[in-house]
Amino acid sequence: MKRYFLLFIGFILLVAMAAPPVQAGGWKGDHHRGRDKEVRVDLRIAGAFYNGLAQLQNPEAGVFLFHTEAKGKPGDATIVGVNQGGSESIDVDNLDGCFFGADLKQIPGVDPSENSLVATFKDLSVLNITRDDDVTRLDEAFNCIRFFPFRFDFVVPIKFVGGFGRFEGATGTGIARGQSMTIIQGSNFGSEIGTITGTVILP
């Protein structure tokens, strides 16, 4: 019996020695394996927005402040952002791609507005996100609006522009999609849901 027990212990030790080492941390070392490592972004977001005026780049333009929680890949995060602008947009005649009941569809133009998000992950890594103003992606962006009761849907091409921690030097592109509504008709505060998808490329 003792002999079989020693053989069993020896087998366990052999398997343990042959097994590949386990990476430390929750991200499995992606940040350190080769150049231009691609990381999938697939986040569901939900939270709040405030629409008001502020003395930013263009004090005459509306300002949207965002605060949302995000779940998915590459990890759960809190996202805070600001969007100032929207003064330059083109009204389109058709409502293709809009939700049922939309009154207006707009295609945002290229303008110097502030449109940035900061995603802070649980390990305190930070990923910076901004609107992608590349003219080749303008046809991907549009806003759909219903006035009564108010609802606003958006599709925005985005790009990843660095950060801290595991996202230091990050680049890449993606799409932000969402829906928002005011809680009280005519107010400046409301809720929103949406998704952020794309690919982050690490140096």
Q: Is residue 12 part of a domain?
A: no
Q: Is residue 166 part of a domain?
A: yes
With tokens 């969007």, the residue in question is 83
Cβ atoms 163, 126 nearer than 8 A: yes
In DSSP terms, which residues pair with 19 in a beta bridge? none
Q: Which residue has the higher pLDDT, 110 or 44?
A: 44
Q: Is residue 11 part of a domain?
A: no
Q: Is residue 68 part of a domain?
A: yes
In sequence order, which residues have a C-beta less than 8 Å from that of residue 167 and are 6 or more positions away?
A: 125, 126, 127, 128, 160, 200, 202
Interior CA angle at 141 toward 73 and 103, to 5°? 115
Cβ atoms 88, 122 nearer than 8 A: no
Q: What is the number of other CB atoms lying within 10 angstroms of the CB of residue 80?
A: 14
Where does residue 29 fall: left (phi above 0), alpha (psi -120 to 50 degrees), or beta otherwise? left
Q: How confident is the model at residue 91 (pLDDT cuts 50, 70, 90)?
A: confident
Q: How confident is the model at residue 85 (pLDDT cuts 50, 70, 90)?
A: low
- Distance CA(199)–CA(203), nearest Å, equals 13
Q: Which domain holds residue 48?
A: 33-202
Q: Is residue 101 part of a domain?
A: yes
Q: Which residue has the higher pLDDT, 41 or 29?
A: 41
- Distance CA(164)–CA(168), nearest Å, equals 5
> How many distinct structural domains can be found in the chain?
1
Q: Is residue 92 part of a domain?
A: yes
119 CA to centre of own chain:
7
Q: Is residue 10 part of a domain?
A: no
Q: How confident is the model at residue 102 (pLDDT cuts 50, 70, 90)?
A: very high
Window from 49-58, 119-128, 134-143 with minimum mean pLDDT:
49-58
Q: Which helix (H) or strand (E) holds 199?
A: strand 189-202
> What's this model's pTM, rounded to 2 decimal places?
0.75
